Amino acid sequence: MNQLASFSSGPANADDITSAFETQLRAQHPRRASFDRKARVEQLDRMADAIKRNADKIIAACAADFRKPAEEVKLTEIFPVLQEIRHTKHHLKAWMRPKRVRATLGVFGTRAQVRPEAKGVCLIIAPWNYPVNLALGPLVSALAAGNSAIIKPSEMTPNASRVIRDIVEEAFTPDLVKVIEGDAAVSQKLLSLPFDHIFFTGSPAVGKIVMEAAAKNLTSVTLELGGKSPTVVGPNADIKKAARNIVWGKFANNGQTCIAPDHVFVHRDISPGFKVAVQAEIRRVYGQTPEAQKATPDYCRIVNERHFDRVRNLIEDARARGASILQGGQTDASQNFIAPTLIAEVSDDMAITQEELFGPILPIIDYVDIDKVIDRINANPKPLALYIFDKNKSFADQIIARTSSGAVGINLTVVHFLHPNLPFGGVNNSGIGAAHGEYGFKSFSHEKTVLEEKYSITHMLFPPYTGLVRRLINIVVRVLG
């Protein structure tokens, strides 16, 4: 890990960035004519092979950056990308095929189809929390759609960034895929260029900056953002199942997951049992004491000192304002360690009720009236995910019908990210557009309309508008309008 930590390529300068963009731009049009399915599949195969060859480096890099457990890296960084490649290869022929479109009476005599075509040179800006997954996953969709791409990994996980660069350089030439490393200044320079599409994963605040920059070049965007994903535990929930799934979804990656449960509304009738079950599950998974939790290899760390201070301050603010710490709260700045923390008796004046937590803090809020819970959810920006635990289907259905979110999980958390046939994306503040599978392919594609004249009679409605033409137009409007 010490060797990995020493890897650094340094930030790219403005000339390097412009040169990389122009290289891909020059290669775009000659390549497009020969960019058939076979070529795209070969690119995906090279990518998969490079990931597999570098799997140990990915594991070591994530451990060096924030002590991410090896098995968690395999499950959340490597597997999703390899699954995406496999799924895409299997379905790519169908996705690329022009779709025939039936004519209506108004355009009778024409033949229509929709052809997906590559958007062109794309920019992928990846976050630090799942650095490999969220850099290379969108790349699968970009390549499948026939594009070239520049990837900007996060500077906050430098070791993972280096491995991403190694994988890309092994698998691709720079005119197809290029990794550019650096800080916010590098991102700003990239965003000033007229890319054909930008895929950004990160916070809503930065997403607004990306969208503003894209607007200057009228560049299309896919924004995978975040927010405070609420969880509702109903009166008829299976408490053990709810505790198991919430603890995994919340504390995997040390809570640094955009679709992690942010806070839990639990019905007052089952609240005592639920709180006991959650505490027991934390101890079962991560250790009986804070010391054991610090020692276990299965518990990640906060990514850096700045975020450690932010999360610790959330806990201290809640404590100072009267919250009850049911479990956890222990910290160690030397390791960026924060124990899995459960907080009760929270109030609206606490920072934990206002900010996206993005750390191992789980507020538990008792409720009696589900209508008031729904009102609270709707009073906040639309979340990326909403989780509901209850055996009663109608209970879940009413919450789904009366709220808006990017996705809903019933009696589970986070797993919908791994479903390649589902769109992954948010709504408004939590995102624009979708990723994964065919939805990702479409995000990186322009759906081109092609309409062909066969034996249409629309020319009979063209000017000069004689009496006959006027009568025909009136008939068309009356009958077909």
Q: What is the pLDDT of residues 171-194, one digit of tens each?
A: 999 999 999 999 999 999 999 999
- Structure tokens given for 82: 């390899």
**Bridge partners of 224?**
201, 431
122 annotated active-site: no
Catalytic residue among 62, 84, 122, 258: 258
**Bridge partners of 170?**
none
User: Which domains occur in the chain, in start order?
Assistant: 2-225+432-447 (3.40.605.10), 230-425 (3.40.309.10)
Which H or E element spans position 266?
strand 263-267
- What is the rounded distance in angstroms from the CA atom of residue 304 to the CA atom of residue 322? 28
Q: What is the pLDDT of residues 281-300, one digit of tens each?
A: 999 999 999 999 999 999 99
Q: What is the pLDDT of residues 247-284, one digit of tens each?
A: 999 999 999 999 999 999 999 999 999 999 999 999 99
Q: What is the pLDDT of residues 299-349, one digit of tens each?
A: 999 999 999 999 999 999 999 999 999 999 999 999 999 999 999 999 999
- Structure tokens given for 401: 């019908």
Q: Which of 257, 290, 304, 332 is nearest to 64 (CA)?
A: 304
224 annotated active-site: yes
Catalytic residue among 77, 84, 181, 224: 224
- What is the rounded distance in angstroms from the CA atom of residue 6 to the CA atom of residue 3? 5
Question: Contact at 8 Å (CB) between 16 and 171?
Answer: no
Kindly state the average pLDDT of the residues 146-152. 97
Compute CA distances 273 → 155, 389, 449, whole Å. Answer: 43, 14, 58
* Number of Cβ atoms within 10 Å of the Cβ of 225: 27
Q: What is the pLDDT of residues 82-106, one digit of tens each?
A: 999 999 999 999 999 999 999 998 8
Q: What is the pLDDT of residues 42-96, one digit of tens each?
A: 999 999 999 999 999 999 999 999 999 999 999 999 999 999 999 999 999 999 9
pLDDT at 33: 57
Burial of 304 (0-12, 13-18, 19+ CB in 10 A): middle
Locus of tokens 């639309």: 382
Say what the pTM is.
0.95
